[in-house]
Amino acid sequence: MDHSGQDEPTPQNRRFLVSPAMIRTQLATLVQDADETRRRIRSTVRKKQRTWEDYRKFLRKEFRWEAPLTHRRPLWWRRGFLSRSVTVYELDKNDPSLYVNDVQRYTRTKRMVHPTLQELLDNKFAFFLLMHHLGLKTDVVPLLGLYVRGGVNLFPHDRRVPLQVFLQSHIEVDQKVFVKPLRGAEGRRVRAITRTSSGFRMNGESTTAAEIRQWIQDQKRPMIFERGIEQHEDQAALNPEATNTLRILTMPDVDQAKDPFIAVAVQRIGTARSGHVDNWTQGGLSAKVDIETGRLSRAGQLPDGRRPAWFSEHPDSGAPLEGSTVPFWEETKELVMDASRRLSFMEYIGWDIIISPSGPVILEGNINSGMNVLQVHGPLLADERVRSYYLKRGVI
């Protein structure tokens, strides 16, 4: 008999005893559950913050358009469309369910590719290096230099020179050079620099090397210098004041072994309004390219009012647009398809292509192509391959 005052364990009460191992197991389970709960809460908070930021961006885009209240279409905001898009797509008479709306574009299409991979396209310097590594260096606009902290690293040479020296000694007379930030869109902070026998011109205006240097330094960010590519005479005839580029959107056919295909292609054309760039948001034109023939449709322009603007001829020069044909169109398709296969891990790319006198040249790739410039000619979701891809990736 035990005289300690405690009963010895019996088969009946032994099952209620808790061993240290059981305690450790229970504690570990509780910690895991708490960690999982914290992760879910953080994920929910991040999603709500991201959604709020996306809608703030949507509203900023809406009110960046300086238009009277009579042009606002707030009832369409709930359906994800900016007021301007309602006009561009003529949604009062077209089916809105066939269009990728602005909220989907801002909140979902940009997330179809992992952010760490997006950097390869968003960063123009990284894109240049990637194209070289993939064996496409002869098909890409040549990079002359990278500006950072007052100096320019020359390419393909392993040298660095002061910015002033680069401007004076590494740009040939009558040579056009484009300077632009490593990251950027819609033609913002892009300048066309041409050295003349008497000085320089920037975006067509006479200037000096000192003024160019000051402008670049004022950007307070790394910049790249790209060699201007002479465009084919047929392309220059559309508008000689800007380099008129193609935007070609590729994505995989998720129902057919994920082979890439061209979803849509448009010819962008500069105007007096867009200046030395052809960007749609700056006032450039967009003409749809027939994927089979390379023939252009009439050209649309981002409207200022409540009616879409269409042109069969260039509004400034009168040059014919509708019915014109893109030079080297078959070669352009081959180049884009080859590059898309090599970058298949990206899946979704908006290619910017220059047509030179000798053929197509890749200017850059875009991970989150604008929609207005493409869908002004018709809804993307009318193509079942496009719809299937967007469904698969959670865009629609």
The closest of 139, 237, 186, 182 to 350, measured between CA atoms, is 186
Residues in the chain: 396
Residue 285 covered by a domain: yes
Q: Quote the pLDDT of residue 3.
A: 53
Q: Tens digits of per-residue pLDDT, 192-208?
A: 899 998 889 998 889 99
- Whether 156 and 214 share a structural domain: yes
- Name 6's Cβ contacts closer than 8 Å, sequence gap at least 6: none
- Whether 337 and 222 share a structural domain: no
Last residue of a domain, one of 194, 228, 262: 228
Dig out the tokens for 334 from the structure.
């081959």
Residue 5 covered by a domain: no
- Whether 207 and 234 share a structural domain: no
Last residue of a domain, one of 212, 228, 244: 228
Give strand ranges (E) for 196-238: 200-202, 205-207, 223-227
Q: Quote the pLDDT of residue 116.
A: 84
Q: Tens digits of per-residue pLDDT, 312-348?
A: 999 998 999 999 999 999 999 999 999 999 999 999 9
- Whether 213 and 252 share a structural domain: no
- Whether 305 and 188 share a structural domain: no
- Whether 58 and 176 share a structural domain: no
In terms of C-beta density within 10 A (0-12 exposed, 13-18 middle, 19 or more buried), how is residue 239 classed? buried
- Name 79's Cβ contacts closer than 8 Å, sequence gap at least 6: 96, 101
- Whether 250 and 303 share a structural domain: yes
- Whether 176 and 283 share a structural domain: no
Distance CA 122, CA 221 (A): 15
Quick check: 13 pLDDT over 70?
no
Contact, 184 vs 206, CB < 8 A? no
Residue 105 covered by a domain: no
- Whether 263 and 368 share a structural domain: yes
Q: Tens digits of per-residue pLDDT, 57-85?
A: 888 889 888 888 888 999 999 999 999 99
Contact, 369 vs 359, CB < 8 A? no
For residue 107, give the 3-state DSSP assignment.
helix
- Whether 156 and 127 share a structural domain: no
The pLDDT mean for the chain works out to 89
Quick check: 11 pLDDT over 80?
no
HSE, CB side, 13 Å, CA atoms: give it for residue 145.
21
Last residue of a domain, one of 197, 228, 259: 228
28: left (phi over 0), alpha (psi -120 to 50) or beta: alpha
Distance CA 328, CA 334 (A): 10
Element (H, E) at 205: strand 205-207
| pTM of the complete model beyond 0.85 | no
